[in-house]
Structure 1
């Protein structure tokens, strides 16, 4: 049976309580404005956080879960994306100043390595071609994707995209870019200078978030309408395994009438070990999912504000969420009382590990 273009409601097995959040760590000295992105080092217990306050902060997580700020560098405008190089020695970032920056952990120096003609919405560190050449790739509202050698100021390649970049992710040799007007551009990093194929999102509304499967054979996509799609690159796999479902919705009954509230999915993350997924949204909730069994592993109660970004650490035993204003209701709804913090949730296997298949 094909689930492609069908909407199924994921079944719930466990609903968390406030007690399940009691061991969460609140990061000290958080950003001073909305948090746009979080990324963990692939080599050590460090993470970076980018913010609308024009800064990228780097934190260390100690063995007991406490955190300490270790470094900070600045852009000239709000920063929208941050990631680490694979060796864990550098942090990359892009933002509304149209710049792509590289921060060296050891020297403490930041340098501009690239530029676009409009704000940079997403950055990733990828390895291209059969020789796995290390490259920074940036996606912008100027409707281009640009690849950068960190040693030279000019892009080594530029790809024209159908629309502005809203989200981007990579895994193995797969790079997936979600743009305005629901275009999804799929790139094989063995041949990084051209788009392998462009498809239209199976979701009806604007794409907000994308994460690639750890195996590099597909991606999960979330939209502003509280829907998620699990997609595969191979057409046969897609017809057999692809599906969409509703999530991040809330029913309220007022005066005998039932109202449905729908929230944007601001972040999707793949667990680095188990290949399960986390979604987080404007409702302040996060959920863990098993896509193969098509059910929710655990859903958590709403935090006191929208979740704007999230990330698993390198072994998946920490899930970080940023609680801050996501601008979904416009400038007027942002105020000094709105929370602005990062929570580190220590994950348990029963929350994030696939359930054994029934015989």
Structure 2
């Protein structure tokens, strides 16, 4: 669907309307010392925002972010190897992290104490909190081809799911767990029945899955691939037009050659249900999946965007810039930027646009 979202048929007037402004973006103070792998805002209510940042320097850092974007480091804790994922509990009291040391750790924010709550046989690629009948739990996905559930009071997993391949991406929303693995498998799990796959499919995208992200209403999920494409997928197939894919993060063709870039992260706006894509090309875009329309595209930020997250109200969009290894080790120079930027979100950037299209 090349013309979807108006990307190929933009006039200069519409382009100026959809070009976003980065001039008010603020840099997070004291960023990590090595590539950033994940960022996560606390969903807990309150006037202050807390941002967790996971890094290849083996640390998880917690920052307090004021409404004006000013930030201050509040706490950090370590793994024995690069940290690949971090996530907040719903009440903002705990942070879970997974790392290349094969461990799942949880940090208690009130006490600053960190405990190992789980382990895998290979690096832990993704961790997420979720609420169950037994209280707050953590689910972890690993390159050992398993997904494990952890009750924070027990060192043994409460359940294990064997996947077809290594877990590359994972997300949770309400009772929806989506797992993306190598070989393009996508597994959907109903967390009310957590040890069975509710549905298994091959990704509609032809290349390796980089990210999966659940809709805010948990009715479906988005998939991003290494080949500059994004897919919108509903859990229950409503009709053939509900699920679709579109091109993004691609340079204009030169001599009939199009440079494509990995979609590194997808984040959904907590209020509007619109979403962002961010890529190796150093740009991010806001999209409306229901109107099949691009809302805003932003100029390059000077380095690959590796992770993104909205704060709890959707007033701040954080994006992490660091090398993503998409071009091999030789491009990872000492001068490559490592930073987290805080973008103040004007509602007009993310609000769904009124559409004149009628449902067929």
Give the TM-score category using the shorter length.
over 0.9
In the alignment, which of 339, 342, 345 is matched to residue 344 of structure 1? Answer: 342
Aligned to 1:356: 354
- Separation in 2 of the partners of 1:18 and 1:354? 16
> Alpha carbons of 1:16 and 1:332: their partners in 2 closer, same or farther (altered >3 Å)?
farther
Aligned partner (choices 192, 212, 215) of residue 213 of structure 1? 215
DSSP 3-state at the match of 2:238: helix
Match of 1:77 in 2: 81
Q: 1:8 to 1:219 in 2, by over 3 A?
A: farther
Q: Contact 1:249/1:262 (CA < 8 Å) preserved in 2?
A: yes
The correspondence for 1:11, drawn from 6, 12, 20, is 6
Q: How many residues align?
A: 348
Change (3 A) 1:292 1:34: same
Runs of 4+ displaced beyond 4 Å: 12-19
CA positional deviation for 1:61: 0.5
* 2:10 equivalent in structure 1: none
Partner of 1:317: 315
Contact 2:20/2:299, CA 8 A, preserved across alignment: no
The alignment partner of 1:163 has SS state of coil
**Equivalent-residue separation in structure 1 for 2:147 and 2:315 (angstroms):** 33
Deviation sequence 1:308-347 (CA, Å, 0-9, x none)? 0000000101000000000111222111100000000001
Alignment check: 8 A CA contact 1:227 1:246 kept: yes
| Aligned residue number for residue 28 of structure 2 | 27
Q: 2 CA distance for matches of 1:96 and 1:332?
A: 22
The 1-side partners of 2:91 and 2:328 are apart by 39
For 1:1-359, list aligned pairs within 5 A. 9-12=4-7, 13-15=14-16, 20-43=21-44, 44=46, 45-128=49-132, 131=133, 133-237=135-239, 239-253=240-254, 257-358=255-356
- CA distance in structure 2 between the aligned counterparts of 1:205 and 1:259, rounded to whole angstroms: 18
Q: Secondary structure at the match of 1:48?
A: strand
Distance 2:89 2:112 in 1: 15
Q: Counterparts of 1:210 and 1:7 in 2: how far apart (Å)?
A: 22
Cα deviations by residue, 1:129-183 (Å, 9 ceiling, x for unpaired): xx37321000000000000011111101011001000000011110000000000
C-alpha distance after superposition, 1:95-125 (max 9, x if no partner): 1000000011111111111000000000000
- Gap runs ≥5 in structure 1: 1-5
Is the contact made by 2:20 and 2:297 (CA closer than 8 Å) also made in structure 1?
no
Q: Tell me what 2:11 maps to.
A: none
How many Å separate the matches in 2 of 1:177 and 1:63? 34
Q: CA RMSD in A?
A: 1.6
Structure 2 contact 20–298 (Cα < 8 Å) conserved: no
Q: Distance in 2 between matches of 1:120 and 1:64?
A: 35
Q: TM-score normalized by structure 2?
A: 0.94
Q: 1:29 to 1:7 in 2, by over 3 A?
A: same
Q: Is the 8 A contact 2:19 2:296 kept in 1?
A: no
Compared with structure 1, are the counterparts of its residues 7 and 153 closer, same or farther at alpha carbon in structure 2 (3 Å cutoff)?
A: farther
For the 8 Å contact 1:248–1:283, the answer to whether it is kept is yes
Question: In 2, distance between residues paired with 1:173 and 1:19?
Answer: 34
Provide the C-alpha distance between the structure 2 equivalents of 1:178 and 1:323, rounded to a whole number of angstroms.
23
Equivalent pair of 1:163/1:179 in contact (CA under 8 Å): yes
In 2, distance between residues paired with 1:108 and 1:296? 42
| SS of residue in 2 equivalent to 1:185 | strand
Partner secondary structure for residue 152 of structure 1 = coil
Structure 2, unpaired ranges of 5+: 8-13
SS of corresponding position for 1:39: strand
Q: In 1, distance between residues paired with 2:164 and 2:35?
A: 29
Instruction: Output the CA distance in 1 between the equivalents of 2:287 and 2:241.
Output: 19
Equivalent position of 1:3 in the other structure: none
